[in-house]
Amino acid sequence: MAPAESILEVRDLVKHFPLTQGIVFKRQIGAIKAVDGVSFDLRRGETLGVVGESGCGKSTLAKVMMALERPTSGSVKVNGRDITKAKGAELKHMRRNIQMVMQDPYTSLNPRMTVGDIVGEPFEIHSEVLPKGGRRKRVQELLDVVGLNPDHINRYPHQFSGGQRQRIGIARGLALQPEVIICDEPVSALDVSIQAQVMNLLDRLQKEFNLAYIFIAHDLSVVRHISDRVAVMYLGKIVELGGDSQIYDRPSHPYTQALLSAVPVPNPEGREARERIILQGDPPSPANPPSGCRFRTRCWKAQDICAKEEPLLQIRPGTDHLSACHFAEALDVVHVQS
């Protein structure tokens, strides 16, 4: 059983997209293993950062957790109820509790709708939440909460800057008072100076409304300050999961170590030297992942066993730090900004 404070319990989640050939007689020739056996808990009010290179399955994981995609197998329990099995009125009700903020504030807002209509749309879909008469006032309150002028309720998205548009998306995400918000790269499309403002807003809202966040990013540095724990993904799997100092100061998976870039690597003479580990090449195709450990084709520590046996995501003795490597070993890292 998961700890009582978990609001989200993800277990053995798999999402394969079929690869088909032929036009009239379609036949399946394989599958893109976008998410391939992911398990974790999200605790009430915490932020779990999810980090990995493009194509490792972060957005697919988010969509399955939101029940926008059906999983191939596995479960996602929200307050103990499996959202992947829910249908009709129950699914609609559960969706109120788990909302999403998208990456691109320029394309994710309908340009023909006013800000009031965009932020108030969840009340149209879930009309039981708020009577029609109270909606305008509530939308103005939400605009105020995210630092926008409530008098701008009749403006259109193009009249706002990128950072302000992302605030509109956040206000919309808050409308139904969810307990979980999945932020899929919410600041990647914004200027660096604006990123900090949006991150600070998310941080403040979390404290104010006791929100739990899944915060998705490419880069470990983006999620560091907002995350309580971080999950590192590679080719559809979590390879390491831990708290701030476990991931950033003493990571134990070679992939995380390579992402952080400089760790002390023993040299042939036995003396310790600090070397930068360069992550070579691109990740292999998720349609045809390597046998054994998926990271082995790029791993600087790979041995024969890595091709034969898949390393399981296991707890490191005496800690709550999880790592999926036959040779997991916590190393001090020297952070290198790329």
Ligand X SMILES: Nc1ncnc2c1ncn2[C@@H]1O[C@H](COP(=O)(O)OP(=O)(O)OP(=O)(O)O)[C@@H](O)[C@H]1O
Contact string 240-269 vs ligand SF4 (x = CB under 6 A): --------------x---------------
C-alpha to C-alpha distance for 125 and 54, rounded to whole angstroms: 32
Interface of this chain with Mg ion, residues 39 to 58, rule: CB under 5 A:
58
For position 234 contacting ligand SF4 by CB under 6 A, the verdict is no
To ligand X, the closest distance from the beta carbon of 217 in angstroms equals 9
Residue 57 to residues 37, 95, 272, 280, 319: CA-CA distances in angstroms? 11, 21, 36, 20, 27
The total number of residues shown for the chain amounts to 338
Helices (runs of H) and strands (runs of E) counted in the chain: 10, 15
Q: Among positive and negative, which fits the CA dihedral 62, 63, 66, 71?
A: negative
To ligand SF4, the closest distance from the beta carbon of 309 in angstroms equals 8
Is 98 a binding residue for ligand X by CB under 6 A? The answer is: no
Site string for ligand X, 64-93 (x = CB under 6 A): ------------------------------
Helix/strand/coil percent split, the chain, to 5: 30, 25, 40
Strands 47-51 and 98-101: unpaired
**Parallel, antiparallel or unpaired: strands 261-266 and 237-243:** unpaired
Question: Given the rule CB under 6 A, which of 41-49, 221-229, 268-276, 297-305 is the region that contacts ligand SF4?
Answer: 297-305
- 314 to 333: interface string for ligand SF4, x by CB under 6 A: -----------xxx------
CA distance 163 to 171: 12
DSSP 158: G
Distance of closest approach, residue 268 Cβ to ligand X, in angstroms: 37
Q: Which is nearer to ligand X, 33 or 229 (CB)?
A: 33
The residue among 165, 163, 161 whose CA lies nearest residue 195 is: 163
Is residue 293 within the footprint of ligand SF4 (CB under 6 A)?
yes
* Binding partner at 55 among ligand X, Mg ion, ligand SF4, none, C-beta below 5 to 8 Å by kind: ligand X
Binding site for ligand X (CB under 6 A): 17, 32, 34, 52, 54-60, 218, 286
Binding site for ligand SF4 (CB under 6 A): 254, 293, 295-296, 299, 301-302, 306, 311, 325-327
